[in-house]
Each structure stands twice: as structure tokens, then as C-alpha cells.
Homo-oligomer: A and B are copies of this chain.
Amino acid sequence: MPTIQEIAKLCKVSTSTVSRVLNNHPYVSEKIRREVLRVIEEMNYTPHFLARGLRTNSSKLLAVSVPKADHPFFAGLIKGISLQALESNYKVCVFQTFYCKENELELMKLLQNREVDGIILGALENLWDDIAPYLKRGPILMCNEFHETAQVPILCYNEFESGYTAVRHLIERGYRDIGFCFDTANSEAQNIRKKGYLAALADHNLPYREEWIFDGAFSILDGIRIMNRIHDLPEKKPAALFSGSDQVAAGLIKQAVNLGYSVPGDLAVIGYDNQPICRVTTPTITSIDIPVEQLGRKAVSRLLACLTEELPLKREVTLFPTELVVREST
């Protein structure tokens, strides 16, 4: 990585002149300013350097992107990220992509323009190849989402284990016909969770039916909708569901009871996230507890290490453990 001395030498100016340019100090001629910036651009400075040096005033601002802020899981993640950032005197701004590639790229432009110091991706809408070029402008890391090759820190749950554990619990409770709800196949994390579900079924020689897999499962209303679909299934219905979300589980359970099913007698349901809603439904919801605040805090520490201690960005996968919390719904 070039030093401020090397840039000064290449531009034939003093190091204090380079420093003035980097700090946008007024007493630099326009010609010299342009030349220094051109050389810096050509030498392709690393993100933390750019982030600290080229800004007039570092805003000490981090951005986090989530698909929707009104999902309790993401709301919890945002909270953990914000609390840790505040402790380090950084501000956090939250962007919602609404599952849209363009919105995610708009956020990247803030990094490009150095309006934010770094980005935490709570999901990934674009192909990684479309995001990677922005790493030249500032650090990016992935939190709650997985990617096979991205050369950045990745902090997420052991989704395979979660899926496997949930299904094994249902099997141990005597259920054999087990369905699966998930939000979107665009999420690599969700696909890994599904692999855990399928592996547990296969290991126990249990059937797998395409019509027991439900996508678009995000909310309480989705749970109600999916339960209506299950009720209308012409052939065999699942006797248990790994719902992938406490909200979905709450909707499934209430609608099942409304339609005359006994829960967990006729239908067992497992949620995901272990949110407080698990405690207020009747029956209460068995769920997978995930350390969401801890995940958010760790993501910020990792990003700040990159920004303030000049630790380089590299691929580094951290899998957080999850835990089954058994309640009445299974």
C-alpha cells in the first residue's frame, strides 16, 4: 500500500500538501489538488485509508441494509448493531432494500461517495460480483447472510444445524410428515437451512413432498394464508411444520385452531428467532433461539476493527450457534 510519502514524491509536493488535500484544506491550488487526487485514485488506495483520509469530515456513520425494518428479526439485528456502534461513538443509518437490487446499489453509492464509512449487509439482493467493486471505496461485511465465495467477513448462524435440530426434535416427538416454510430462495442462508431440514428427513428415511414446502413466509398474515392452503390440500397434509419464523408460526397456530385443528395434536409448529411472541400465543411456540443482538454487535466490532485498526478485509466465516427452546406447540 502506498504511503503519504510516496504520493507526495509522485506528485512532487510536500507531505503536508498531500495531507491538506486529503483534509480538503482551502490553501491548496486547484491544479495541485487535482493532481494529488488523480494519483491517489490511480494507486487504488485501500478502503480504510480512503474512508479516513479523503472525507472532509468522517461522518463516523455506518450503514446497515435489511430487506425490511418491520420484521422483528431485522429490527433486533438493527438494535444490536446500533447499540454497539453508539458505544464506539459511531452512528448507524438503516436502509431497507425491500428485496430490490436497485435499492441495494443505491446504498453502495453512499459508500462510493464516502457518505458512510462502511456497510453491514443484513441480506444480499445482488450477485456478489456486482457488490465486490465497492470494496475499493470502503469496507463491507455480511451479517445474517451467507455467500460461498465473497472475500469479506461473514457472520451468520449455523443454519444447517438449526434446520436439522428443529426437524430432529419433531421426529423425536413422533411426527413423520414434516413441512417447511421459508421466505425466499434468493437467500443462501435459507437454502442452507432447507438442506438441514432435508438432511434430517433423509437420515430418518422420512418422506419429502414438494407441496409441503411453502415460500413467501415472512409474517403473521403469511402464516394464516399458508394454514388455509394446508387446510385445502387435496391429498395428505403435513402433521408438523418447521415454519422458519415466529410470526409465521403464530399465524399458522391461530388459524389452525380457528379451523378446528388441535395444536400440537393434529399439527405441531416450530418457529424461529425465539421472540417474545412465542410466549403469548396459545399454545406457546417452540422456537430456535438465535443470539441476534450478539450477532449485530460482533458485526460492528469487526467493521470498526477494519476502519480504525486498519485490519484488512478478508474472507472469514463466523457461525453463531443456535438453540432449540421447547414450548407447547410441539
Contacts and interface: CB of A to CB of B under 8 A. Distances in A.
Query: This chain: how many copies in the complex?
Result: 2
Interface string A278-312: 01111000000000000000000000000000000
A205 to B, nearest CB: 35
A110 B93 CA distance: 11
Interface in A249-276: 250-251, 253-254, 257, 276
B70 A79 contact: yes
Interface residues of A, number: 48
Contact of A110 (B59, B103, B247, B280): B59
Contacts of A26: 30
Given A250-B277, A281-B281, A96 B113 contact: no
A82 interface: yes
A72 interface: yes
Closest 6 CB pairs of A and B: A93-B93, A70-B75, A220-B276, A94-B94, A282-B282, A254-B280
Given A63-B93, A91-B110, 5 more contacts: A68-B79, A72-B72, A75-B75, A250-B280, A251-B279
Interface of A: 26-27, 30, 57, 59, 61, 63, 68-72, 75-76, 78-79, 82-83, 86, 91-96, 98, 103, 106-107, 110, 113, 115, 219-221, 224, 247, 250-251, 253-254, 257, 276-277, 279-282
26 contacts: A59-B113, A59-B115, A61-B110, A69-B82, A70-B75, A75-B75, A78-B94, A78-B96, A79-B96, A82-B96, A82-B98, A86-B103, A93-B94, A94-B95, A115-B115, A220-B276, A220-B279, A221-B276, A224-B279, A250-B277, A250-B280, A251-B276, A251-B279, A251-B280, A254-B280, A257-B282
